[in-house]
């Protein structure tokens, strides 16, 4: 099977997410399932806006062996593999350092989903995965323990987020839904601070305006 079309889909998705501000430089990574045994994954340390389909790696799900592509697969390849193994329904797994949801990941709390439309996309809540250094088996293990059938978005403490979906489009919808939820959550917290700390109101209003215009 020619894997070039699916590797090109990874390139297109990286460009799209970069333009949306969800991927910046070499930060974040994407994996797209090819079949039951293989998935395509972004290479390590590459600028996504100058990446080509040939740069995208094809990796075997069982042992993470790179079977196509000359580059080194992303450091988070084992993390995406965990998602694919634990969620046979998932075709696309995305890890980003997207700005607002990553700010929420610094707060160290699970996010409750506050509306039905978002719940339909990412599930009833967004769990917080504890901190472990990037690219480690410890992080992949922690992610593995958090993955649940009805949850398509996860906060990674002091790091970023992980989203997934049954298709590439569904995974992008999870990314968008999570960022919107995080924005509403932070705006609500800032508004609460304004009412309880009137002396800091001017500074907090400025933060709120920045958040709403970002």
Q: How far is the CB of 95 from Zn ion (least distance, A)?
A: 6
Q: How far is the CB of 156 from Zn ion (least distance, A)?
A: 7
Q: How far is the CB of 138 from Zn ion (least distance, A)?
A: 14
Contacts of 70 (CB under 8 A, 6+ apart): 54
Q: Which is nearer to Zn ion, 132 or 204 (CB)?
A: 132
Q: Which is nearer to Zn ion, 129 or 172 (CB)?
A: 129
Tokens of 70: 């000359």
Site string for Zn ion, 117-156 (x = CB under 5 A): ----------------------------------------
Residue in the shown chain whose Cβ atom is closest to Zn ion: 160
How big is the site for Zn ion, counted in residues (CB under 5 A)?
Answer: 1
Q: Which is nearer to Zn ion, 160 or 165 (CB)?
A: 160
Contacts (CB under 5 A) with Zn ion, residues 152-181:
160
Q: Which is nearer to Zn ion, 30 or 56 (CB)?
A: 30
Q: Which is nearer to Zn ion, 73 or 118 (CB)?
A: 73
Signed CA dihedral, 10, 16, 21, 25: sign only: positive
Q: How far is the CB of 160 from Zn ion (least distance, A)?
A: 5
Query: Which positions lie near Zn ion, rule CB under 5 A?
Result: 160
């Amino acid at each position: 099977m020619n894997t070039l079309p699916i590797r090109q889909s990874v390139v297109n998705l990286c460009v799209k997410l970069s333009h949306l501000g969800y991927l910046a430089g070499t930060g974040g990574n994407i994996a797209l399932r090819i079949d039951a045994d293989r998935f395509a994954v972004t290479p390590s340390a590459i600028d996504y806006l100058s990446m080509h389909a040939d740069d995208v790696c094809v990796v075997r799900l069982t042992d993470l062996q790179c079977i196509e592509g000359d580059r080194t697969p992303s450091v988070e390849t084992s993390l995406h593999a965990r998602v694919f193994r634990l969620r046979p329904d998932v075709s696309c797994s995305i890890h980003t350092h997207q700005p607002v949801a990553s700010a929420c990941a610094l707060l160290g709390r699970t996010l409750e989903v506050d509306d039905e439309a978002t719940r339909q996309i990412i599930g009833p809540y967004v769990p917080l995965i504890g901190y472990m250094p990037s690219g480690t088996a410890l992080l992949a293990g922690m992610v593995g323990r958090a993955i649940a059938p009805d949850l398509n978005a996860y906060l990674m403490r002091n790091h970023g987020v992980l989203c997934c979906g049954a298709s590439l489009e569904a995974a992008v919808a999870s990314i968008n839904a999570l960022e919107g939820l995080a924005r509403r959550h932070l705006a609500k917290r800032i508004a609460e601070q304004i009412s309880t700390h009137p002396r800091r109101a001017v500074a907090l209003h400025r933060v709120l305006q920045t958040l709403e215009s970002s």
